[in-house]
Structure 1
């Protein structure tokens, strides 16, 4: 049945079907969420645990290891890393892309419960988990400031009000507070006075713990009424603890203020945060894996007005970082590019047809195909993001191709004298198979991408499906709406030709001249077929050469308007010395003309070690600065390089991050070993080797083993004779130096603690250990020096695991103009010269590992796309030979794409790779149009192969030029685009524009020659086969 005929004779049905596609598409467009990139997040869960006072090695051995054993048994875990620092451990789990994060979270909770009995009894709470990747950039950052309140009061407000409200917002995965700690009653003990009164630290701890309580006390039940029993058992303020009796000396009470300084402060005094240079508590909000960024940000901002009303009047809540404006601006730029591409494509059609009615017909294919695609995108759960919009931009050059082919053939029949109706019936029927072949063979190139299970396949699945749907809708429109409109809108050829407009005549003359030049060139290549075939072989070899020399990368850098980084100082720096250094760097960064605001924080725990500070730098809008985010980061690193004693590491925040380990640079090289000492020995050597490579910068390692420690060597025999056991010593040291929480204060909105430690003046010199003592079994004071000796040593500031083995990571950034491929080659060369021992497993991690995998699979991906296209063409043509003729157009497209990437100094990233794969489907359209008409002429008109292909080339010259130029100008706005994320989009446009430009020039001449050679080969093979069968018979 001829479906085209059905649509031509049923115009109402055709129009209503088309309108239905448009209406559904418009509805889908309004409902589509907006995002910077497709949702390709690895399901990631972070487990956090804390144990006050524990060293990194203790945390790794007693907390991280038991958790890893239990968590490692969860199905679907692809990567498990942990980092243990002073008093805290975080374990990051990444799962298969197809794993449901909610199901994974339930398994994680079960694993935590299973590990409970293996964890230290001193842990005050079980480990917790959050469904967020700690290496992701925050989507919103808030700053809470006040001119009258202390940082502790601000932190209390942030935790009790802001954190709770933000954590309930749909899509939020993690809310973290930085810059201070909760209010607390602090008790700073003076060991000399304790010795004077003969009181132990544990005696004081017990006295404090027993002095404040808030337990249920029951109810009095009378015959008529009841009474709730309450007391003033809880002490809330420091003043209430001053006169607390801790012991007696010679019958006289010794009160707490006699042996300690008691005051209201915060739980952890070694944390600080600043907005620019103003003390601030910062709230970092990260989205849950898979959550839509803009929907989550909009939901967060919708909560802020009510939240601000609930906060005290003397506080200010500011939105410092908000990713939504940059995302929306990038999408607006992309939509503008889409509009420009549509106008250019329509202009190309008008130049060739010079008829308003004729231009309207293929122009309608654009909105119908593009808008209709939005309906399918919504049903599949896709979003309007850079990649899906890039697919629609590229589609502008494709979706008119089918309509152009149909329209041009119908117009040709009208010019030959047929009526519009008969021309539409005949012309559409003639090219329906051509249209089907072009569309299905282009769709076929995406089959390997759709089957890929890696991050690249998942990332571009949305791109491939979006483009495929638009092409299928376009094919439907070209075989339904286009011939119907041609039959009704086009006018028959006038009996008396009118004099054309001078401009139209000029264009027609130029096109005729171009056709004449092509005819002469075609005649020459037909007479010199060997030279033509040699040039084809040369392009194949040139492809191989260019592929090896073009620079390769993984994913273009995005400009999100946010820099993330860290300040790393000497490993033994104190908090008091680190704070002014952080402010010094803040002022330098803030002075840069591209910087809007700077947020910085430092402190212990999961937000940083004692020698580091975290920085978040918000940049001005892209139009208000003179450099990209990466260029600003490099500039700031150079500006701060002269400051002695510290180094700044900054990098542009990216939406696509692979791996769960955080680092101070973009790319990572990982070392893994069972022997921690071997790892500590070789990590600095590897770091030095990478730092010596001039193409790299910001080389840093997470292995910090130069921290100082005091080792207490216990003489166990002497300790036993003195009635002292090791548990007593551990308890005393914990009481003295761990900022121990000895009591809990319960309030309406939050719980606070009483924190006990030695006075600061007694924690600055290891010699204080000689003045401490423990109480033995007999109640006597025994100095530490009586049964222990002291010596200095080195200790790590953090301990990292990969799987369940010790690991370290050396991170690095690339200098401008250096590709990741170059960097990896240089690093491999440096490692070969270094000679790592066999006990260390070394390799790239995170994004660098994903790039290495992509580099290995890139040729196979292209081969798979070629095989898919060959199979589809073979099925359509029922021939082994014709698909080869069609695919012979590809080498020139590859040369054009790679050559233009090389000339524009653009790296071959996954974006450019998709452009090259697209070219496999695009450039063969020229050959399909030629071969279809040649085959038809041979079968129906009895022409020789040479006559048939020559006529086909000349007859299809104009539609070939129209479709190629439409695709070229559809890609050109991407290649020449501007804006914050232009670097993300331009490789696709450059690859397609370069490939189309060269392939258009060469394939017009090489395809007919290849057709003749393969036709001769096919005929010779058939003759030989017939002779063989004749001999056998």
Structure 2
């Protein structure tokens, strides 16, 4: 009794068990989260520190370096980069993928504490860190605009009210507010007035700090009453600061209004945001790990009326970007492909078996296998994403194969006149081992994927597990439910009741089978030619793999663009905001653009960011690459600044942000060498037509006013360096000198010289340093800078970047349409050789390009590991060293077909295409398994010769081989021809599988039986040699005395 017979004789139990599997899968389906790709958490921590007014070199020396030395001792750091610019330092720590992020965060905090004694004492706040995931793009952006409210008021509403409410929504991980800064009172001083009254900046700062305090005041009480004590000790608006007394001169009070003015403004004037040309503040929302993006976005949208009601009515809220629509559309396309694949494979069954009842068996078996997979996906905490749904789409061709093998064999016996139950018992019993071999060897293909490390391994683990689970569920269904359906659903053969279509198709298949029989005779008679053809396909595989353009991950048309503005290094913040406005207007004018948002005021004063939302695919004719080409031509005419655009991708690798998609980093033993060679390499690469948007983060020509201090004279006048730096910071550093406490938030008081005095460096002549009282100067003094210092223009780096604690410079680039990443990396390596860059200057790819290089190195080993896994599993199943080699011999032709198809459709050999080739390894060997399994059985049971056995097996299994191949072909067809969102991701998989199956089907029907005969001869030869050697050794032992 076989396993299938238990279920054939118990149809009710089998039906109920099947329903249970389907119900469990359906319940799990509605609980699975939705995402564009599997969740890949890059354990990354960003450390930030600020010292307003400090130059980039100062920040790198006194903030970044001490922190990096301390952080560098943490275990498990994969990459540490830092960027120091005017007033800020950001250090990104990317840990090994297996590192626990919470444990890493504790180590980071301990390292910051250890470095605190080496950091400047005047840091406004301690360095802070936050856990980030570079792979998570924002899921939604909300813009606040108003015709009456200032940017500061918009930011206050966004930060104080909206961000707090949104952060409580299920699924929201972080809310970033950009485009301005919090409201503040700015005390703007007139250096000439200060000099006239003999008052220094430090005295004003001390007066503000002393006057604006919030201290406990206690209470009083009598026998029956109790009073708390309060006072008007908080100055909350600009008007409260104007009458503040700073000092007395000649008995008269000198107030802030005498020294300058105070205005209600914002903390940092350099931040500005735009939405379609209007001043705006932006709320940028990110999700929590594992959250359902669609549910989270819908939750925010449902709360929008409440959010609008919680802020002033003159402020407008608008959603300028959300990923839910694109993700829904992309998954909808995959679901349609899945349904179409199911329909096509069912049609294959009907066409070949010419029986409606037979075609209905896969209608039950295929959906049941796929739906049952959802239950295991839920237990594994997987999501519905492009890769998991692609796995199920491809699995349609696999799961129907198992049902086809059982169904076709049972139908064959029914056609011979056997009763359905007996036919199902005999048919399922004969092919049970075949189905088991096909399924286990297919699952073996995915073992290497499951064991892969790095980003690719994490990304495709869910794909491999989902596909393997679908195959396992299909195996169980094909040995239980399918035989039961064949026994109780199929009708006995009635030759007289078939229609004209049945007989016409029968004649066609008979002719096809007869043609195969004739050509198979020829192939077996010309075995040497077939072997030569097989060897040629192996050599052709190697050649095609070398020449095929290679890429990492297909570039997707997500309907979104991200842009980075790089302006002249000496540009002012006001001019930079005008450049932002100009670029926004140029991009908005394009017919394919729906809306544009942007902001300035990031780490570098001469940079800005722009986010473009394109119209949906059905409303525009061009692809995202075509739109970018058109925009580049229009943006090239803007003087003094460049806007670099790149399509937003679902997969992002690397913790640093760059102006283009791919990155290459240079490091040198000496900083002077780096500054010498970086411009040369950049110029050479910019001339290459294959690369576009070539740019660098090395900006060494920022304008600077350098003071030349006569230290002896300064010392004679009682001035030290600390007093000089503090005075300059007070005047020009937007120094935060006090805090205003409000019920919902805290605001700053910023002191500086009035903006009209920033326009010319000559203002330094009017700056006085306050010298405190001393034995030589009992009353103190006001000493002009000009008394002990001169100044002149010079240049300075706008940003100092480190990689692994050493100076580094990175250039980024995009690819011209039609250029592969493999070609680009070769161009860069070739350029470095042509320029004869010294060994002391070395470069390395970063981000996606680095991941591409690693995956390229692992691709051959991954394919070999898949072949080894199949060989081991088949060797165990067949208890043979030889027959697995026969089965594996079918694979070279599939590789040739896959690469030829990719070349024909001008598609790169990407990671997705590689997965297609690995899947082909599992698909194509099924044909050989069906042939060899029946041939071995014929040799053992019927005593046939190897040639007669393999010939009979090929003819007998010709129909199921054609059915399974066409089922897999048609399952891949919707992916290969699909359109819509995410089609770029799915297309390489479908093309490689379709092409591989087409070529392999033509060749393996003839090469496999020939290889079987040669391998059988080899097996017999080896056995004879072994026996002969054993006999000789035995005889030798017997002859010994």
Q: Is the 8 A contact 1:450 1:464 kept in 2?
A: yes
Q: Deviations over 1:384-420 (max 9, x none)?
A: 0000000010011110111111111112222233222
In the alignment, structure 1 residue 421 sits paired with structure 2 residue 416: no
SS in 2 for 1:615: strand
Q: Deviations over 1:839-882 (max 9, x none)?
A: 33311000000000011110110000000000000000000110
Spell out the pairing of 1:725-874 with structure 2 (5 A cutoff).
725-777=720-772, 778=777, 779-874=780-875
Tell me by how many angstroms 1:590 deviates.
0.5
Q: Distance in 2 between matches of 1:331 and 1:244?
A: 63
Tell me by how many angstroms 1:781 deviates.
2.2
Q: Distance in 2 between matches of 1:1031 and 1:242?
A: 114
Q: Distance in 2 between matches of 1:923 and 1:134?
A: 38
Tell me by how many angstroms 1:297 deviates.
2.7
Tell me by how many angstroms 1:49 deviates.
1.8
In the alignment, structure 1 residue 526 sits paired with structure 2 residue 521: no
Tell me by how many angstroms 1:296 deviates.
3.5
Closer, same or farther in 2 for the Cα pair 1:57/1:295, shift >3 Å? farther
Q: Decide which moves more: 738-747 or 910-919.
A: 738-747
Q: Decide which moves more: 1014-1023 or 370-379.
A: 1014-1023
Q: 2:685 is matched with which residue: 659, 673, 690? A: 690
Alignment partner, residue 663 of structure 2? 668
Q: Decide which moves more: 295-304 or 752-761.
A: 295-304
Q: Is the 8 A contact 1:667 1:847 kept in 2?
A: yes
Tell me by how many angstroms 1:290 deviates.
5.0
Q: Decide which moves more: 279-288 or 625-634.
A: 625-634
Tell me by how many angstroms 1:293 deviates.
3.1
Q: Is the 8 A contact 2:33 2:291 kept in 1?
A: no
Q: Deviations over 1:601-638 (max 9, x none)?
A: 112xxx24211221011111121112233332332122
Q: Decide which moves more: 924-933 or 786-795.
A: 786-795
Alignment partner, residue 925 of structure 1? 926
Alignment partner, residue 595 of structure 1? 593
Spell out the pairing of 1:261-340 with structure 2 (5 A cutoff).
261-289=261-289, 291-340=291-340
TM-score (norm 2): 0.97
Return 5+ residue gaps in structure 1 as ranges. none
Tell me by how many angstroms 1:448 deviates.
0.3
Tell me by how many angstroms 1:765 deviates.
1.7
Q: Distance in 2 between matches of 1:747 and 1:1031?
A: 101
Q: Is the 8 A contact 2:42 2:135 kept in 1?
A: no
Closer, same or farther in 2 for the Cα pair 1:19/1:964, shift >3 Å? same
Q: How many pairs were matched up?
A: 1028
Q: Decide which moves more: 664-673 or 685-694.
A: 685-694
Q: Distance in 2 between matches of 1:532 and 1:954?
A: 18
SS in 2 for 1:131: strand
Q: 2:558 is matched with which residue: 557, 560, 566? A: 560
Alignment partner, residue 990 of structure 2? 989
Tell me by how many angstroms 1:263 deviates.
1.9
SS in 1 for 2:667: strand
Spell out the pairing of 1:69-88 with structure 2 (5 A cutoff).
69-88=69-88
Q: Is the 8 A contact 2:41 2:133 kept in 1?
A: no
In the alignment, structure 1 residue 649 sits paired with structure 2 residue 644: yes
In the alignment, structure 1 residue 506 sits paired with structure 2 residue 504: yes
SS in 1 for 2:622: coil
SS in 1 for 2:374: helix
Q: Is the 8 A contact 2:41 2:135 kept in 1?
A: no
Q: 1:699 is matched with which residue: 694, 697, 700? A: 694
Q: Is the 8 A contact 2:43 2:100 kept in 1?
A: yes
Q: Is the 8 A contact 1:130 1:173 kept in 2?
A: no
Closer, same or farther in 2 for the Cα pair 1:231/1:199, shift >3 Å? same
Q: Distance in 1 between matches of 2:991 and 2:318?
A: 41
Closer, same or farther in 2 for the Cα pair 1:232/1:499, shift >3 Å? closer
Q: Decide which moves more: 561-570 or 929-938.
A: 561-570
Q: Is the 8 A contact 2:185 2:749 kept in 1?
A: yes
Tell me by how many angstroms 1:267 deviates.
1.6
SS in 2 for 1:224: coil
Q: Distance in 2 between matches of 1:153 and 1:493?
A: 82
Q: Is the 8 A contact 2:273 2:600 kept in 1?
A: yes
Alignment partner, residue 626 of structure 1? 621
Alignment partner, residue 209 of structure 2? 209
Q: Is the 8 A contact 1:40 1:290 kept in 2?
A: no
Q: Is the 8 A contact 1:132 1:174 kept in 2?
A: no
SS in 1 for 2:496: coil
Q: 1:575 is matched with which residue: 573, 577, 580? A: 573
Q: Decide which moves more: 480-489 or 537-546.
A: 480-489
Closer, same or farther in 2 for the Cα pair 1:892/1:355, shift >3 Å? same
Alignment partner, residue 357 of structure 1? 357
Closer, same or farther in 2 for the Cα pair 1:65/1:843, shift >3 Å? same
In the alignment, structure 1 residue 639 sits paired with structure 2 residue 637: no
Closer, same or farther in 2 for the Cα pair 1:679/1:340, shift >3 Å? same
Tell me by how many angstroms 1:322 deviates.
0.5
Q: Decide which moves more: 554-563 or 330-339.
A: 554-563
Alignment partner, residue 585 of structure 1? 583
Q: Is the 8 A contact 1:898 1:991 kept in 2?
A: yes
Q: Distance in 1 between matches of 2:74 and 2:622?
A: 45
Q: 1:550 is matched with which residue: 531, 539, 548? A: 548
Alignment partner, residue 1016 of structure 2? 1015
Q: Distance in 2 between matches of 1:706 and 1:192?
A: 32
SS in 1 for 2:457: helix
In the alignment, structure 1 residue 515 sits paired with structure 2 residue 510: no
Tell me by how many angstroms 1:914 deviates.
0.3
Tell me by how many angstroms 1:711 deviates.
1.5
SS in 1 for 2:30: helix
Alignment partner, residue 536 of structure 1? 534
Alignment partner, residue 908 of structure 1? 909
Alignment partner, residue 1039 of structure 2? none
Alignment partner, residue 897 of structure 1? 898
Q: Distance in 1 between matches of 2:345 and 2:448?
A: 29
Q: Distance in 2 between matches of 1:806 and 1:303?
A: 47
Q: Is the 8 A contact 2:162 2:307 kept in 1?
A: yes
Tell me by how many angstroms 1:102 deviates.
3.3
Q: Deviations over 1:98-130 (max 9, x none)?
A: 333333333333333333333222122222222
Spell out the pairing of 1:174-253 with structure 2 (5 A cutoff).
174-253=174-253
Closer, same or farther in 2 for the Cα pair 1:135/1:925, shift >3 Å? closer
Give RMSD over aligned pairs. 1.6
